[in-house]
Amino acid sequence: MTDPTSPRVLLLPGWQNSGPDHWQSRWEALHGDTRVQQHDWAWPKRGDWMMQLEEALLASPSPAVLVAHSLGCQLVAAWAAHSKHSRRVIGALLVAPPDVERADTPPQIAGWAPIVRRPLPFPTIALISSDDPFCAPARAEQMAADWGATALDIGPLGHINGESGLGDWPEGRRVLESLSGEPEDDAD
């Protein structure tokens, strides 16, 4: 089957999960990536989400690459600041980190503030949209800097989600593969 030393890709959707047109759902279907399930996608509790990530990471001895979208980016930062198992992660791709400290943050995710701003203990790339409605580019770049991540502005793609029209998003997959060192699938 799969090589136990080959890195697993753990998908960390944001608030309300990733729908069928979202690139994370497409990657799950195309590449066999593992979505970390949460108990409550509508009213996410930071500690609960952190526990789910920890359990998913410990479910296999294989190293993992984290692929987070939106609130999933905040999850990675919060989890890494507290976990004793961050050495199992070989890298993280953080896509469209939201600014949960904004005055207009929905009450369902207000408990995620303040943003955890410690350097991440693994190589990280943050992909930022120049017109993300949930985070100004300068705020996203500052979060990336605080996390020790390489920030890449990938242009005006909204919240880099299902509504962004990315399809299978092979460009994002290539960025992921640069982190994991894994060759590209033939599924492109």
CATH number at residue 118: 3.40.50.1820
15 is a domain residue: yes
186 is a domain residue: no
Find the domain containing 104 and state its range: 8-179
184 is a domain residue: no
187 is a domain residue: no
Q: Residues 87-140: pLDDT tens digits?
A: 999 999 999 999 999 999 999 999 999 999 999 999 999 999 999 999 999 999
Beta bridge partners of 95: 69, 127
Count of domains for the chain? 1
112 is a domain residue: yes
Whether the pTM exceeds 0.85: the reply is: yes
User: Which amino acid is present at 122?
Assistant: F
Which is higher by pLDDT, 188 or 138? 138
3-class SS of residue 72: helix
Q: What confidence tier does 159 reach under pLDDT thresholds 50, 70, 90?
A: very high
Query: Which is nearest to 118 in space by CA: 151, 87, 149, 139?
Result: 149
76 is a domain residue: yes
